[in-house]
Amino acid sequence: MKGAARTLDRRSARAIRTRLLDWYDAEKRDLPWRRSRDPFEIWVSETMLQQTRVDAVIPYYERFLERFPDVYALASADLEDVYGVWEGLGYYSRARNLKRAAEQVVSEFGGELPDDPVALRQLPGIGRYTAGALASIAFDRPEPVVDGNVSRVLTRLLGIREDIRDRAVSENLWRDARALADGPRPGDLNQALMELGATRCTKHSPGCAGCPLGRHCDARKVGDAASLPKKTAKRPPTQVLATAIWLLRNDKVLVIRRRSQGLLGGLWELPGGECREGEAPSQALRRGLRKTLRLEARKVKRVGEVQHVFSHRKLSLFVFRGNPAPGRVRRCEVEAHRWVRPSALASLPCGGPTRKALALLAASFAG
């Protein structure tokens, strides 16, 4: 019979802390944000690392701080400039919230990031995990963190075989993480947990043989580490069909900027719109142009289709090209529009679907 999940008593927590910190001091990766004690720089790194691999973040982190070296520079920046530096990293709401939060830090906290997790969570984009990470790493406060890596380490360590998406199980993980953070060097302890999950106690290949917590680990004793943590299956992403069109007038292309709220908010894209159920893409395109821009298109030609998967949506984008009918653009449901030279498109902050559409169009022109 598999062992029952256990909770951390003080003695076990102290032993685990000691082994984790010793391992972290010897084995931690040399990452740029670990060389800093600046709360702003740590905040930027924690924001970028949400749902993004470390090796992908490093060059963006370095470029971002070169362009916005402190909270004042970020707060006073144009949002489009922030998007431009962020472009390609994805999940653009993170950049938007970081900018909004910087403005709030300047206006309400005198440019100093608060060290209290309750105050931190009042800032846009800062939830329970990020507040704990900032409070512990930047301010040495004994606050816990629980992300995917920490959940994996703790469920294996403590033999938790219930669904971690269950609220009670999740709260127990936070309780155990707090027990571990309660001691010297809480920031390093939290980073050690994350580092262990990222580099050794991994999803598909748990490296039990060299794990610093092997003697304490329930899953290693039972032999089921690879099956933990238990999670209910996510719903498959919703299929969405949409259109985009390259409209050329006087050697300039029409682009629109989405409203700041929602998916890809504030980014530039080609005009178009989502397809209704049973609606042909060409019909959806004409309806979308009339609805959002009061515009008609002529000589419309379908170029092809691109695919893009978000965390909860799978997008099929049908790409067209054509010419606008005479008349001025009258915006509705979009924030801005521009007629730009094709060479200027590369400098606009655009989302992944638009980049793929532009690449498809470029290939069609070359052919």
Q: List residues with catalytic annotation.
A: 46
Determine phi and psi for 194, rounding to 5 degrees: -65, -40
Q: Where are the alpha helices (DSSP H) in the chain?
A: 10-27, 39-48, 54-67, 71-76, 79-86, 93-109, 117-120, 128-137, 148-158, 167-181, 186-199, 218-222, 281-293, 352-366
Cα–Cα–Cα angle for 154, 159, 164, rounded to 5 degrees: 60
Tokens (6 digits) for 252 = 């300039």
**Residue whose pair of structure tokens reads 């992300």 in the numeric block:** 147
Burial zone of 225 (CB within 10 Å; 0-12 exposed, 13-18 middle, 19+ buried) = buried
Tokens standing for residue 72: 């004042």
Alpha-helical (H) ranges within 259-341 are 281-293
Q: What are phi and psi of 313, to 5 degrees?
A: -140, 140
Token representation of residue 97: 């919230």
C-alpha 311/C-alpha 288 separation (Å) is 25
Find where tokens 């504030």 sit: 266
DSSP string, 206-231: B-GGG-TTGGG-HHHHHT-GGG-SB-
> Residue 91's closest CA among 259, 238, 263?
263
CA distance 184 to 96: 35
Give the pair of three-digit tokens for residue 63: 């470029």
CB 243 within 8 A of CB 237: no
Q: Which amino acid is at 47?
A: T
